[in-house]
Chain A
Amino acid sequence: MSFLALLFGLGALTATLPIIFHLIRRTPKGRTEFSSLMFLSPSPPTLTRRSNIDNILLLLLRVAAIALIAFAFMRPFLRGADSLTGVSVANRRIAILLDTSASMRRTGVWDNATQQVRQILGDLENGDDVSLFTFDEDLAKVVGFADENEIADSQKRSQIEKELSGLDPGWGRSDLGKALVSVADELDIWADATKEKIDGKLAKLQIFVVSDLQKSSKTESLQSYQWPERVCVKFFNANSKQKSNASVQALKPAEDDEQGALRLRVSNSSESEKEQFTVSWFDESGDRIVSPVKFYVVPGNSRVIRMEPEDVVGARRFVLEGDAEEFDNEFFTIPTEQAEMEIVYVGEDRSNDPNFPQFYLRSALVETPTRKFDFRQVKQDDGSILNADLIPSLVVIADPPDPRLESELNQYLNQGGTALFLLDDFEVAESVSQWTLGIPLKSQDQNSPRNDYRMLADIDFKNRIFRPFLDPAFNDFTKIRFWQHQSIDLDENEVSIVARFDNRDPAIWERQIGSGRMIAFASGWQPDQSQLSLSSKFVPMISELVEQGADLPKLSQTLLINDPISLPTKMKTNPAGSNRVMVAPDGTRFLIDDAQENFEETGRPGIYTLETGNSQTLFAVNLSRAETEVDSLPIEQVEVFGVKTGTQQTASEELSQLRDMKDKEIEGQQKLWKWLIMAAMILLIGETWLAGRTANRTLAERAGMAEPG
């Protein structure tokens, strides 16, 4: 016999109440009159016991009636053979997503996380297929599913535990959205593919996310993703009780700050318990430069501290002290140096004459804290392109070069130089055709009236010259009119056309010569030829050209963990026969191929050094600021994107549910409780009759005793 509601069995205990009431009773309420109660205080009621049972049959009837009612409430039924024979249920396919972002380095968080993963593994049932993924900015599969690895279920857990003990949090930024989307997609695709194999049973797809769930974790990927209904996600928050955190970050000098003072921003988390901090800075050798600076930052706020330029000379590392969590207390920087760039102008025109291009070239390149320009004019019989001290960043050819200059130009280009040919004249265009590969035609546009003009068309905005104008807000070139240009007959297979005029004539093109590069303009930028020098596009274009020529590395302050470092490719930084080596902050040396343009092993914050022969180029890589923000992410914010949170039933839970349903069905058919209630009613009727009979007899006996005689 089985029961649907076994707990009601406790109700059978009430069957003892009649016995207790019978044996234990309260003292009868006799009444005694007394003159005054002013000196009396109430006593607690006392119970007295008696040990003999007066009417055992009556008592048994009452007990049996109560027991039967309790028994009926337990909803008994008779179960036949195992009702679930032949029924099988699907097991779960579980992906454990373990956060390995930098914020997991906080005290106790990683231990919590690994403990929670072990807890998940411990709660698994036989047949559950589990895999382990780690994620920060990227998703990595540590242990795959059974059908991928062919690892037996029994070994899977030990395999995951083994891998888990070898894992450590990295320095990357957490991208929860990307990780969820990738894993949900993988589970969904697997469920679609294996639909036939699992006999049409619903696949139970589960993701367990073990993370510190920081608010700044990226979830944008979820916005454009249709979350699969059958994938459930459960979040395990590995946060420790310690919520204090502060971080330090160096900012660029303010634009209106003529001194160019470095600024440090210190942010304090909203749940922080600390307010007082100290910043120290250290030079290349690790020595403290000046005494530490103390300041207060209210929790939830940030504060920017201005550092005098003379105080931070040579500073490589800023360290925040007084914060409980150390993972984001360092910021690396390299001193900003003013790059000196030489511009060689080959032409006869006067530098102060606004009718010639040199005037506009000089005007466009203005000295800044990071750049300094050294202009040099070279004429037919005066000066040379190559300089012993400084290799020019850009050579502008505005007049035909003589044979001496031609050989120097070739040498310069072969060394990796950048030359700009300004074809504002038929003669010039013809004389430089060996480099430009363009034969000038006598054009009817030449000396054409001002009311006829050409505009730029087919601009290649991916080219570095036009890359600053890639944004649609800046790519309108229709207001730049070209009054005169050279029609060039060009072998377009040998060159790369960057822009054309609206009559399809090539306007700007480039070509590789040796290690260097040639760029040709089919028109001048002075006002009698075009409006280019007067437009707002001119300065960015020329600056980009010069910087390309100088091949300056990008400013290191903007590099974050896992950002690729753009490597300088120019010949001057890679003398023949010397290897390029990148030294990571932990001392690891990476050999760089000649063809390699980017260095991507930037998974650790610190100063990376590119060694080329005797020269060194430094890059500072820092933690993402978002990763230092450790406020908690509300789960509702993830659910808004349609992510289904919760847990899938385990196989045993599902079996239990099925069994319960089957039991209810059997009990509903048998309805034994009705018979039990009926039996209880009969007993109660019998009890009433017996009690009445006993009472009558007692009364009769008393009456008999009362009568005289």
Chain B
Amino acid sequence: MSQGNSTRSSEATKAPGSRISPDSIMLIRNLELRAKTVVQGFMSGLHRSPYHGFSVEFTDYRQYAVGDDLRYLDWKLFARRDRYYIKRFEDETNLRCHLLLDLSNSMAYGSIEYNKADYARTVAATLAWFLNHQRDAVGLLTFGDSIEEMIPPRFRTGHLRRIMVALERSTTGKSTDIGQPLEQIAQTVSKRGLVVLISDFLTPVEQLDKNLGYLCSRGHDVILIRVLDPTELDFEFTQPTLFQDVESGREIYVDPKSIKENYQRQFEEHEKSIRERCQDLGVDFFQFRTTDPLDSALFHVLQTRALAGQQVNRANQVKGATR
């Protein structure tokens, strides 16, 4: 079951039925093949879904008004209905998507066969593959305590392969510094686009605040995808033991029974504060366990984009009607 939800759509929709277990997906060693499997499984399920019609490129019609460009007049519809309709497109340019992937040490943590970084790579690869096949430009930026790899968004032959290779060869860094990649994107990318940040967000909320706000102000659509291990959420430890921070190496003695409640409360407060910040900035926020089906991520991202698109279309309709 997906833990992901959006600050815009919250519990609105469920991902379509047939899902492939992430355990099985993760057995596929080739990342591109893994992404393709996820997307294809998602697409096949999509045909059976009552929620058809979701797409980044949704088309719309509105009545012709004097002064409209005749190039967009739908003559076939005029033939059937004997009325003039102007054909409208959702977006007149290709989407430019920046995938920002956190590969700090904390992402290397995993209590099951694969870790958060593996899951996050697969999510990134899935999105990249899907968008590439929609002819959208996709770029990649991996970071830990500094920026490791940066591939600008392109749509050309071999670009997807390049992204896949970069994802496969990337290793985890040390600590997490979310501020730096966000700052980098904000400074270098002037054209509006989609920014997808995939991380566990186990950092102080204040680090996110400034740069997210800056990105939003530049007109970017931002999506945060949080990947968490089930143990981080449920804290199912029983024995008192020394807990070592995988990033800093610091050790503290912890009796899980006595602090579990306090841990969960603080964790929820942290999550709540991230959500509140996102809501304030109009940023989509999704949270996934590494046990959640991988296509849920894709589904929720697309769903969110679709809803955003509807809103844009409605805005355009209103705008057209007033002309």
Determine whether the beta carbon of B247 is less than 8 Å from that of A36. yes
Contact with B along A1-37 (1 / 0, CB 8 A): 0000000000000000000000000010111111111
Q: Which residues of B187-231 have CB atoms within 8 Å of chain A's CB atoms?
A: 200, 202, 204, 229
Residues of B within 8 A of A30 (CB): 239, 241-242
Nearest A residue to B108, CB-CB: A35
- In the complex, A34→B249 CA distance in Å? 10
Residues of B within 8 A of A36 (CB): 106, 202, 245-247
- In the complex, A590→B46 CA distance in Å? 137
With A33-B246, A35-B202 known to touch, is A41 a contact of B259 (CB < 8 Å)? yes
With A42-B253, A46-B255 known to touch, is A35 a contact of B246 (CB < 8 Å)? yes
Residues of A within 8 A of B266 (CB): 39
CB distance from B148 to the nearest CB of A (A): 19
Determine whether the beta carbon of B242 is less than 8 Å from that of A37. no
Nearest A residue to B258, CB-CB: A43
Determine whether the beta carbon of A40 is less than 8 Å from that of B247. no
With A43-B255, A43-B258, A46-B255 known to touch, is A37 a contact of B250 (CB < 8 Å)? yes
CB distance from B28 to the nearest CB of A (A): 25
Interface range, A side? 10 to 19
Determine whether the beta carbon of A40 is less than 8 Å from that of B252. yes
Nearest A residue to B109, CB-CB: A35
CB distance from B43 to the nearest CB of A (A): 33
- In the complex, A41→B106 CA distance in Å? 18
- In the complex, A41→B260 CA distance in Å? 10
Residues of B within 8 A of A29 (CB): 241-242, 253
Determine whether the beta carbon of B244 is less than 8 Å from that of A43. no
User: How many chain B residues have a CB neighbour from A under 8 Å?
Assistant: 33
Determine whether the beta carbon of A31 is less than 8 Å from that of B242. yes
Q: Judge whether A81 is part of the interface by a CB distance below 8 angstroms.
A: no
Contact with A along B91-109 (1 / 0, CB 8 A): 0000000000000001101
Contact with A along B278-291 (1 / 0, CB 8 A): 00000000000000
CB distance from A503 to the nearest CB of B (A): 119
Q: Judge whether A38 is part of the interface by a CB distance below 8 angstroms.
A: yes
* Partner among A32, A40, A45 whose Cβ is within 8 Å of the Cβ of B263: A40
Residues of B within 8 A of A33 (CB): 109, 243-244, 246
Residues of B within 8 A of A38 (CB): 202, 204, 270
- In the complex, A399→B139 CA distance in Å? 155
Q: Judge whether B254 is part of the interface by a CB distance below 8 angstroms.
A: yes
- In the complex, A41→B256 CA distance in Å? 10
CB distance from A32 to the nearest CB of B (A): 5
- In the complex, A30→B244 CA distance in Å? 10
With A39-B263, A39-B267, A42-B252 known to touch, is A34 a contact of B258 (CB < 8 Å)? no
- In the complex, A229→B319 CA distance in Å? 121
CB distance from B59 to the nearest CB of A (A): 44
Nearest A residue to B244, CB-CB: A33
With A40-B252, A43-B253 known to touch, is A34 a contact of B246 (CB < 8 Å)? yes
Q: Judge whether B262 is part of the interface by a CB distance below 8 angstroms.
A: yes
Determine whether the beta carbon of A27 is less than 8 Å from that of B240. yes
Determine whether the beta carbon of A35 is less than 8 Å from that of B244. no
Determine whether the beta carbon of A37 is less than 8 Å from that of B252. yes
Q: Judge whether B276 is part of the interface by a CB distance below 8 angstroms.
A: no
CB distance from B174 to the nearest CB of A (A): 13
Determine whether the beta carbon of B232 is less than 8 Å from that of A45. no
CB distance from A31 to the nearest CB of B (A): 5
Instruction: Say what secondary structure dominates the interface of chain B.
Output: mixed
Q: Judge whether B251 is part of the interface by a CB distance below 8 angstroms.
A: yes
Determine whether the beta carbon of B245 is less than 8 Å from that of A32. no
- In the complex, A37→B242 CA distance in Å? 11
Residues of B within 8 A of A35 (CB): 106-107, 109, 116, 200, 202, 229, 232, 245-247
Nearest B residue to A34, CB-CB: B243
Q: Judge whether B58 is part of the interface by a CB distance below 8 angstroms.
A: no
Q: Which residues of B94-136 have CB atoms within 8 Å of chain A's CB atoms?
A: 106-107, 109, 116
Determine whether the beta carbon of B254 is less than 8 Å from that of A40. yes
Residues of B within 8 A of A40 (CB): 243, 252, 254, 259, 263
Q: Judge whether B237 is part of the interface by a CB distance below 8 angstroms.
A: yes
Determine whether the beta carbon of B255 is less than 8 Å from that of A32. no
Determine whether the beta carbon of A31 is less than 8 Å from that of B258. no
- In the complex, A38→B270 CA distance in Å? 10
Contact with B along A385-417 (1 / 0, CB 8 A): 000000000000000000000000000000000
With A31-B251, A45-B253 known to touch, is A37 a contact of B245 (CB < 8 Å)? yes
Residues of A within 8 A of B262 (CB): 41
Residues of A within 8 A of B247 (CB): 35-36
- In the complex, A41→B244 CA distance in Å? 12
CB distance from A49 to the nearest CB of B (A): 15
Residues of A within 8 A of B116 (CB): 35
Determine whether the beta carbon of A32 is less than 8 Å from that of B253. no
Residues of A within 8 A of B267 (CB): 39
Nearest A residue to B265, CB-CB: A39
- In the complex, A45→B270 CA distance in Å? 27
* Partner among B200, B202, B244 whose Cβ is within 8 Å of the Cβ of A32: B244
Residues of A within 8 A of B246 (CB): 33-36
CB distance from A591 to the nearest CB of B (A): 99
- In the complex, A46→B116 CA distance in Å? 33
Determine whether the beta carbon of B109 is less than 8 Å from that of A34. yes
Nearest A residue to B267, CB-CB: A39
CB distance from B264 to the nearest CB of A (A): 8
Residues of A within 8 A of B244 (CB): 31-34
Nearest B residue to A42, CB-CB: B252
Residues of B within 8 A of A43 (CB): 240, 253-255, 258-259
CB distance from A47 to the nearest CB of B (A): 11
- In the complex, A489→B251 CA distance in Å? 127
- In the complex, A136→B109 CA distance in Å? 94
- In the complex, A29→B239 CA distance in Å? 11
Residue with the highest number of chain B CB atoms closer than 10 Å, among A27, A31, A43: A43
- In the complex, A43→B228 CA distance in Å? 25
Residues of B within 8 A of A31 (CB): 241-244, 251
- In the complex, A42→B250 CA distance in Å? 12
- In the complex, A441→B274 CA distance in Å? 142
CB distance from A611 to the nearest CB of B (A): 99
CB distance from B189 to the nearest CB of A (A): 29
Residues of A within 8 A of B229 (CB): 35
Determine whether the beta carbon of B200 is less than 8 Å from that of A37. no
* Partner among A32, A39, A41, A45 whose Cβ is within 8 Å of the Cβ of B237: A32
CB distance from A246 to the nearest CB of B (A): 68
Nearest A residue to B268, CB-CB: A39
Residues of A within 8 A of B232 (CB): 35
- In the complex, A449→B307 CA distance in Å? 157
CB distance from A42 to the nearest CB of B (A): 5
On B, residues with C-beta under 8 Å from A are 106-107, 109, 116, 200, 202, 204, 229, 232, 237, 239-248, 250-255, 258-259, 262-263, 266-267, 270
Top 4 nearest A-B pairs by Cβ distance?
A: A43-B255, A35-B109, A36-B202, A35-B106
Given contacts A31-B241, A36-B246, 14 further A-B pairs with CB under 8 A are A29-B241, A31-B243, A32-B244, A33-B109, A34-B243, A35-B116, A35-B229, A35-B246, A37-B248, A40-B252, A41-B262, A42-B254, A43-B240, A46-B255
A-B contact pairs, 24 of them (CB 8 A): A29-B241, A30-B239, A30-B241, A31-B242, A31-B244, A32-B237, A32-B241, A35-B106, A35-B116, A35-B246, A35-B247, A36-B106, A36-B202, A36-B246, A36-B247, A37-B243, A38-B204, A39-B266, A40-B263, A41-B254, A42-B254, A43-B255, A46-B240, A46-B255
